[in-house]
Structure formats: structure tokens, C-alpha cells
Copies of this chain bind each other. A is one copy, B any other.
Amino acid sequence: MTIPISANNNVNVSFLDALFSATSAVCVTGLAVIDIGDSFNIFGRTVMALLIQVGGLGFASVGVGFFLLTRKKVSFKDRLLIKEALNLNSLKGIIKLVKSILIMTLCFEGIGTVLSFIVFSKDYPPLKALGISVFHAVSSFNNAGFDILGNFQNLIPYANNVLLNLTTCGLIIFGGLGFFVIKEIIQKRSFKKFSLHTKIVITMTIGLLSIGTILIKYTEDISWLGAFFFSTSARTAGFTTHAMGTFTNATLFVIIMLMFIGASPGSTGGGIKTTTTFTLFQSAYSIATNKHCSAFKRKIPNDVVMKAFVITLLAGVVVCVDTLLLSSIEPDYTFMQILFEVVSAFGTVGLSTGITPELSEASKIILILTMFIGRLGPLTIATIWSFKPMSSVSYSEETITIG
């Protein structure tokens, strides 16, 4: 990315801007300090598409592996099912898993390319339209949110194109479910048979899409299609069909909350994740009503609940610290612009009120770090940094008064 041949001849790309773009691509964020369509030639664009795909696939594979690891505590029957379904004990099993992920990715991106091509071929010569369609499908399914139409215009020219809007939303939604969930939907086809994880992911995805659409439609002068598109795109993809600089504070705040929640685990999406959010509220409800924390007639383990809270706390801390730093570095922007930019980077969303290209170098470095923290998850980083075996020192309990 940083080698000059990636750039168009007449455009000078600084090292920091190239680093920002590469980070943005690997972390599938889509925040852009320079315009991909304008500044990069075909070679640069291909590199970007590959980085996005590798970033997306890599995280998806790691995500699925992590998912299977954390499912150690499920019932013996469930474990047998997983073993049978994925054959994970052997090397052959892993190859089979990666293969199925690759096939699913190709299927979704293939269908996406065809549908996008129908739209783009009307405005561009066939070969260029094909290039744009492939890039767009890869970018959508991996929730990257980069576009190559040029001039920072993203999908604004296609704001009212129903086919492109729905194709993009479909790719984003399926990409954001996580491969494990897609696999289970394809294999089991009945909500009752799904695992608790899949049930929660589906419920939360439908719930957040609906609530998001209604809130955006209510707070902004926008079509239902536009509201649905933003509600879908905000929870990680980061495509935009309207210039967001004119949006009201209320709408921007709704989008910030959606960006913070993000997509589902094991997907290419960011944020604290749908399952985490579900666990938070379910646990609050269970404490207020003095019940065990359960969902769909299954108890959610205590350590999972605790982890959900800690992830959310650390996410909140990262957002607050970064917002404070950027507010003091960039006194000329409004608090909303800065908060929006930070949450967008943390959730690897890539939506922006338009201030990204004008930020100072210090701010760009902070956003690069935020994207990495958001991508890996703050708890993962904290754990890698400081994990020690369980201490054997045991203290006596003493309660304190809370709240």
C-alpha cells in the first residue's frame, strides 16, 4: 500500500494516509482519509479488495475457531453435534471448515456481484462496472464499507435505487451474522432447532434493524428505504446513501448507538456485538426481577454475563478516552463530530460526518489505534497483555454498598 505504484500518478499519498487506508482495509473499517476511487489506480484498488477479503476471511475463520473454543461448556450432546457437523478434531475438519467458509463467501459475493452489476452497468462501461460490482460485493459482505465511485461520494448517487439498496443490505446483514449462524440457518432451517447463540443473534439482528429503522425515520426527514439502509449500514458496514453532515443530532446519536453495538461475533463486524448487548439487558432484567439470567429456556452462564459487562465497560472506556483526546486535539470540531468519528473507528464502521480527511496527524494515529482495538476487542487486548494463571491467594469476602 505504501509503495508509490498503488497511487494514481497525479496524487501524492503520504505515508500516514497510506497506513490509515491499509489499517482501515485490514480492520474492514472503511474510514477514509483519501478517496480510494480517486487516489488509487487499478493495482491499488485490487490490493485494497484483497486486504479487505483477507481481513474479512481471516477474522471470520479466527472468529469461528474462537467460537468453537468458547463453546467448550455446552452439553455433551451439543458438543457431539458440533463435532459431527464440523469434524474439528482432525486437520481434515479444519480444512473442511475453511472450505465451507470460502464457498459461502464466494456464493454470497457472486450473487451480490451479479445484482450490483445490473445497477452499475447502466452508468459505467461493462468492464469498469464489473470491477465496481466485485469491489462493492466484497466490500459489502465483509462489512468494509469502502466504495470506489470516487470523490468521497460513496453510494449517495444511488440513494433511491431499490435494487442496489436491498442487495447491499442483504450482503451486509448476512455478512454480519457470522459464518456459524449462516451455516446453522442453512443446515437446520427451523428456529426451534437452532443453538442459543443463533437464536439470540437472529432475534437481536431483527430487533435492532427494526428499532433502528423506526428511530432514524422518526428523527430524520428520510425515506423508509433510506432509514432501513442506515439502520443496516450503521451496525458495521458503514456505507452511506446521504451526506451525513446535515443529519440532526438525534439521528447521529441513534447511529452512534447502533455503531457501538455492532454486528455478531464470528463475523467481520465490529462493536461490542449483538450477543453482548442481549446478555447485558437480559442480565439487568434478571437482577431487577430476582431471576436467573436466562433466554429461550437456557441459563446464560455467570462468567459469560460478567465478560459481557467487562467488554462493554472497556469499550466505553476506550470511546471516552479517545473522545477526550480528540476533543482536546481538535477544538474546532463539535463534540458530536468527534464522538461520531471515534465510535465509527471503534466499531470499524467507517461512517463519518466528513471530518476524517482534515484531521491532524495525532488524531489519525489515535484513530488507527482505535480501529485495531475495536477490531481485536478491548478485552482480548487486556487479556493478552496481563493474563496470569488463577491466583491461589484467597481473601475473605466483604461486601460494599453500591449505587
Task: Tell me, rounded to whole Å, the shortest Cβ–Cβ distance linking A80 to chain B.
Answer: 14
Q: How large is the interface on A (under 10, 10 to 19, 20 to 34, 35 or more residues)?
A: 35 or more
B336 & A298 in contact (Cβ 8 Å cutoff): no
A309 & B313 in contact (Cβ 8 Å cutoff): yes
Residues of chain B within 8 A of A208, CB atoms compared: none
Known: A219-B328, A324-B253. A307 touches B266 (CB 8 A): no
Known: A324-B253, A387-B289. A284 touches B395 (CB 8 A): no
Main DSSP-derived SS at the A contact region: helix
A290 & B400 in contact (Cβ 8 Å cutoff): no
Q: Which of A360-403 contact B (CB under 8 A)?
A: 377, 379-380, 382-383, 385-391, 394-403
Residue among A252, A273, A289, A311 facing the most chain B CB atoms (10 A cut-off): A289
Stretch at the interface among A27-35, A65-73, A94-102, A121-129: A65-73
Instruction: Answer yes or no: A312 CB below 8 A from chain B CBs.
Output: yes
CA distance A230 to B279 in the complex (A): 37
A335 & B252 in contact (Cβ 8 Å cutoff): yes
Stretch at the interface among A11-19, A165-173, A195-203: A195-203
Contact with B along A294-320 (1 / 0, CB 8 A): 100111111011111111111010001
Known: A249-B334, A253-B335. A290 touches B402 (CB 8 A): no
Using CB atoms and an 8 Å cutoff, list the residues of chain A in contact with chain B. Answer: 66-67, 70-75, 78, 195-197, 200, 215, 218-219, 248-250, 252-254, 257, 265-266, 272-273, 275-276, 279-281, 283-285, 287-292, 294, 297-302, 304-314, 316, 320, 323-324, 327-328, 331, 334-336, 338-339, 377, 379-380, 382-383, 385-391, 394-403
